Structure 1
Amino acid sequence: MTPGLPTAMDRPHFIGIGGAGMSGIAKILAQRGAAVAGSDSRESATAEALRAQGATVHIGHAAGHLADEATCVVVSSAIRADNPELLRAAELDIPVVHRSDALAALMTGLRPIAVAGTHGKTTTTSMLAVSLSALGLAPSYAIGGDLDAPGSNAHHGEGEIFVAEADESDRSFHRYAPEVAIVLNAELDHHANYASMEEIFESFEIFAGKIVPGGTLVVSADQEGAVELTRRVRAASGVRVVTYGESADADVRITSVLPRGLSSEVTVEIDGDPLTFTVSVPGRHYAHNAVAALLAGTALGVPAGELAAALGKYTGVKRRLQLKGEAAGVQVIDSYAHHPTEMTADLEAIRGAAGDSRILVVFQPHLFSRTQELGKEMGQALALADSSVVLDIYPAREDPVPGVTSEIIIAAARAAGADVTAEHDKGAVAEVIAGMAKPGDLVLTMGAGDVTDLGPQILDRLAH
């Protein structure tokens, strides 16, 4: 099956084309034959990967980057109203399309699986993409992270399945109409857009309500917010709901998760029969993600046994407990975790796999709003490490908030008994870690910002 290009997207221009979500859509459009162009604030491996696909990528934002013949301008919620290319689009009367609408258009005529939840979306979407590909089903996919190389976050496949990460942060996942939807969890996050858990529930209910007639919602039976969502959805709609987890109430019960070094052996009970398979990343939460992926695939008719075996082909995604290397007997691992629940899950997973090794964390808080609301919980999560270095807040799309600094996290961490150090100079971190680390230690760079750049620097300093 080879869908054509969506209407008016044969010459799209992407503002912020290097972003995780934007670059994936641009890549798929390029693979479908579109003349893709766009701009980004800085040069990157992703920009180079897009050029290799035939896209024109400008560095910096300027009105002149937008060609008169562009048929649409694609934006994300992060693009500000005063962006010069956006203003130029208005002058030229070129339609502006939100990223989520572009992704929804790419799914037209296919069988979409949309993966939602406050945490775990990228991993679960990746698991599905890898396992369905291993079975020869040639899915298309759009993921919020790279599988194995820059630009591997998306692919146009010849099969009928489209796997997409569904972002709840700005409610854009309401644009999708999946045949199968996954909700891994529902927690309060994205405080600039959601004021309460009630708003979170309402948003996820709308998402669940977009499932096509006869479709399936796969949802956790263990996480409190997901359980409440299940109650609401079952009461309000006729969608088929399948719950999974270790709870006795789960439709598909996870009966065991056994650590096997940096892997896990997972056993589930489906229709009364046990099924055991390997997940090649550590931690209970990754095992649960794999079971969600398994049930989403079976909802589309993929045999459970075949899909379980194929899930073993998944070896991770960039920034999700990704081993960056080893030097002087010290392993450096990168984690995208930036919400307290994610931080706790990754630290527990590493602790379970590390044995007696010390765990040293370099944590970069992400967003002022998130730090303001959840900084105390972030600090408590860091108490699971042996020592931590906390950087200044990575602002991303936000302006500073008076009184909101990393000190909120540091104070909470120390109150919880953690050994934590503040470091305002990111360039000094490699030297600081080199002075702390000993052979056998594990160093975890953690956060959703540019803390990921520190892994190679730490390894280089340790090696010398």
Structure 2
Amino acid sequence: MTDAKLTDFRMATQDVADEDPLHRVHMIGIGGAGMGGIAEILLDLGCRVTGSDLKESAITRRLGKMGASITHTHEAANVADCDIVVFSSAIKDDNPEMVAARVARIPLIPRAGMLNELMRLRCGIAVAGTHGKTTTSGLLTSLMMKAGLDPTFVIGSPLNSTGARARLGKGEYLVAEADESDKSFLLLNPILSIITNINADHLVNYDGDFERLRRTFLEFIHRLPFYGLAVLCLDDPGIAGLIPRISRPVLTYGIESNANLRAHDIRQEELVTYFTVSRRNRPDWVEVRLPMPGRHNVLNALAAIGVAHKIGLSDEAIRNGLTNFKGIGQRFQLSGEVEMGNRRVLLVDDYAHHPREITATLQAARNAWPERRIVVLFQPNRYTRVRDLFDEFSKVLADIDVLLLLDICAAGEAPIPGVDSRALGHAIRARNKVDPILIDNFEGLAPTPWFKSCATATCCLFLAPVAV
């Protein structure tokens, strides 16, 4: 079935007037995590890929080495002679390449629309949720690879085992993250879906209405076929309240709840977490050694276990796959040690950018190293997120030994008056627990007093949208 679908895709992209049997695909905003992954798959399929992005990055450099032709300007000439234009959700309608494509009547396809075309070639597994998408996708992909299923995958950060965030596999499954931030996950048609949690985030795209966000997740679930499966975290209140309204098969997982799959006897030893998984008819089904810290990662692993069992992986394959998981970029990634004063300081890189993610990451670090002082370098991501969750950010960031606060990463957003790191730092300081050190940029780190703080610290967490 898969080979036939792949043939269909190649036939559909054939231009009989061109010696090259595959279309030239141009991608606007090719340096984004989601766009870069799709570009890798298209290159693996044999497509000619060009792209534009205003910034050079590790993603654009990797794609260039793989054969993509990338420019760092947005110009109408970039889309000349291309057959398909794929665009990131960050690209505006008045972008010159978008305008030129419309004038030339070149098909314009949103990123998720192209992802769905790739998903159509395989049995699609979509991982959605406010937090945990990348880790859960990575765990599931690794389980399937270890079991010899050779999945295609498109995820948000590189797997440490492969160094890639995307790859075209020969197996029948495709694992991908489903992005709720711009509602683009409603373009996907998977046969299996995971929803890790539903929290208040990206509400600017939902008219500030959390219930509207939840209803959109419900709509996403109902894009499953009648024979599909939704794997849902029952511990999450945002999900639990939706379940009575779901008319698709459901498998629940959790720690605190009476879920179909439940983790218990959880213990953490530094960066390794041990737990037992029970099914309703098997109280001690699988014992797991997970080389990741934190209860949030136990939940992520449970979601991956649920899907792995559904598609036929054996208990032993699940156990071995989790034991041998090598991790994923910027997800509690131990970057090394440096000498500061008379101490060797551990450096940990993590993408936590929401108050709940920061709380989970801090708890994992404290459980791993209870005797160590924690220094956090944090760069807020998006003005709207800081505005909407201002009190939550100030509360969680006040409960830190040493806090270094960078300017907000705009992520394409316009500044909002009164919403900046200085205001956030003032709110944190008002809680009388920590005095934040404000830093203008990464280059400003070296001469600041934070080195003196680190001389007596033994763990530094980098929480930023890009690897530090």
TM-score relative to the length of structure 1: 0.92
| 1:248 Cα deviation after fit | 4.1
Match of 1:219 among 220, 228, 232: 232
- Secondary structure at the counterpart of residue 346 of structure 2: strand
| 1:303 Cα deviation after fit | 2.2
Partner of residue 320, structure 2: 309
| 1:411 Cα deviation after fit | 3.2
Aligned-partner residue type, residue 240 of structure 1 = P
1:307-456 map, 5 Å: 307-328=318-339, 329-426=344-441, 427-432=443-448, 433-438=450-455, 441-448=458-465, 450=466, 452-453=467-468
Instruction: Sort the Cα spacing of 1:277 and 1:119 in 2 relative to 1 into closer, same or farther, 3 A.
Output: same
Partner of residue 242, structure 2: 229
* Partner Cα separation in structure 2 for residue 439 and residue 325 of structure 1: 17
- Secondary structure at the counterpart of residue 348 of structure 1: helix
Deviations, residues 371-426 of structure 1 (Å, cap 9, x unaligned): 11102111211133211011111111110111111234323323444313242421
* Partner Cα separation in structure 1 for residue 454 and residue 154 of structure 2: 38
| 1:435 Cα deviation after fit | 2.8
Determine if contact 2:337/2:346 at 8 Å carries over to the other structure: yes
* Partner Cα separation in structure 1 for residue 194 and residue 78 of structure 2: 38
| 1:149 Cα deviation after fit | 8.6
| 1:439 Cα deviation after fit | 5.6
* Partner Cα separation in structure 1 for residue 170 and residue 414 of structure 2: 43
Partner of residue 18, structure 1: 31
Aligned-partner residue type, residue 39 of structure 1 = S
Determine if contact 1:182/1:219 at 8 Å carries over to the other structure: yes
Partner of residue 113, structure 2: 101
Aligned-partner residue type, residue 322 of structure 2 = L
| 1:440 Cα deviation after fit | 5.1
Determine if contact 2:235/2:257 at 8 Å carries over to the other structure: no
Pair 1:266 & 2:275 matched: yes
* Identity between Structure 1 and Structure 2 (%): 37
- Secondary structure at the counterpart of residue 124 of structure 2: strand
Determine if contact 2:255/2:299 at 8 Å carries over to the other structure: no
* Partner Cα separation in structure 1 for residue 179 and residue 84 of structure 2: 22
- Secondary structure at the counterpart of residue 36 of structure 1: strand
Pair 1:250 & 2:259 matched: yes
Determine if contact 1:294/1:308 at 8 Å carries over to the other structure: no
* Partner Cα separation in structure 2 for residue 17 and residue 109 of structure 1: 22
Aligned-partner residue type, residue 334 of structure 1 = D
Determine if contact 1:180/1:299 at 8 Å carries over to the other structure: no
* Partner Cα separation in structure 2 for residue 151 and residue 89 of structure 1: 34
Unaligned runs of 5+ in 1: 454-464
Match of 2:220 among 191, 194, 207: 207
Determine if contact 1:361/1:385 at 8 Å carries over to the other structure: yes
Deviations, residues 243-288 of structure 1 (Å, cap 9, x unaligned): 1112342111111221021110121102324111111111110111
Partner of residue 81, structure 1: 93
Determine if contact 2:25/2:47 at 8 Å carries over to the other structure: yes
Deviations, residues 54-109 of structure 1 (Å, cap 9, x unaligned): 211112222222232x1111011100122221122122211110000100000114
Instruction: Sort the Cα spacing of 1:151 and 1:88 in 2 relative to 1 into closer, same or farther, 3 A.
Output: farther
Pair 1:71 & 2:83 matched: yes
In the TM superposition, structure 1's runs of 4+ consecutive aligned residues that sit over 6 Å from their partners are: none
* Partner Cα separation in structure 1 for residue 215 and residue 114 of structure 2: 24
- Secondary structure at the counterpart of residue 420 of structure 1: coil
Q: How many pairs were matched up?
A: 446
- Identify the range of structure 1 (425-434 vs 214-223) with the bigger mean alpha-carbon deviation: 425-434
| 1:206 Cα deviation after fit | 0.6
* Partner Cα separation in structure 2 for residue 444 and residue 424 of structure 1: 16
Unaligned runs of 5+ in 2: 14-21
Partner of residue 209, structure 2: 196
Determine if contact 2:263/2:298 at 8 Å carries over to the other structure: no
- Identify the range of structure 1 (301-310 vs 103-112) with the bigger mean alpha-carbon deviation: 301-310
| 1:197 Cα deviation after fit | 1.5
Determine if contact 1:375/1:408 at 8 Å carries over to the other structure: no
Pair 1:37 & 2:50 matched: yes
* Partner Cα separation in structure 2 for residue 360 and residue 180 of structure 1: 40
| 1:50 Cα deviation after fit | 1.0
Instruction: Sort the Cα spacing of 1:211 and 1:130 in 2 relative to 1 into closer, same or farther, 3 A.
Output: same
| 1:231 Cα deviation after fit | 2.9
* Partner Cα separation in structure 1 for residue 128 and residue 87 of structure 2: 21
- Secondary structure at the counterpart of residue 176 of structure 2: strand
* Partner Cα separation in structure 2 for residue 304 and residue 214 of structure 1: 24
Deviations, residues 314-335 of structure 1 (Å, cap 9, x unaligned): 2221111111221101111111
Pair 1:299 & 2:314 matched: no
* Partner Cα separation in structure 1 for residue 162 and residue 433 of structure 2: 36
- Identify the range of structure 1 (85-94 vs 351-360) with the bigger mean alpha-carbon deviation: 85-94
* Partner Cα separation in structure 2 for residue 196 and residue 215 of structure 1: 29
* Partner Cα separation in structure 2 for residue 37 and residue 248 of structure 1: 48
Partner of residue 462, structure 1: none
Q: CA RMSD in A?
A: 1.7
Partner of residue 16, structure 2: none
Instruction: Sort the Cα spacing of 1:407 and 1:149 in 2 relative to 1 into closer, same or farther, 3 A.
Output: farther
Instruction: Sort the Cα spacing of 1:227 and 1:97 in 2 relative to 1 into closer, same or farther, 3 A.
Output: same
Aligned-partner residue type, residue 446 of structure 1 = L
Aligned-partner residue type, residue 313 of structure 1 = N
| 1:148 Cα deviation after fit | 2.8
- Identify the range of structure 1 (45-54 vs 200-209) with the bigger mean alpha-carbon deviation: 45-54
Determine if contact 1:264/1:280 at 8 Å carries over to the other structure: yes
Aligned-partner residue type, residue 316 of structure 1 = G
Partner of residue 127, structure 1: 139
* Partner Cα separation in structure 2 for residue 175 and residue 212 of structure 1: 14
| 1:289 Cα deviation after fit | 0.2
| 1:145 Cα deviation after fit | 1.1
- Identify the range of structure 1 (404-413 vs 373-382) with the bigger mean alpha-carbon deviation: 404-413
Aligned-partner residue type, residue 180 of structure 1 = L
* Partner Cα separation in structure 1 for residue 399 and residue 447 of structure 2: 23
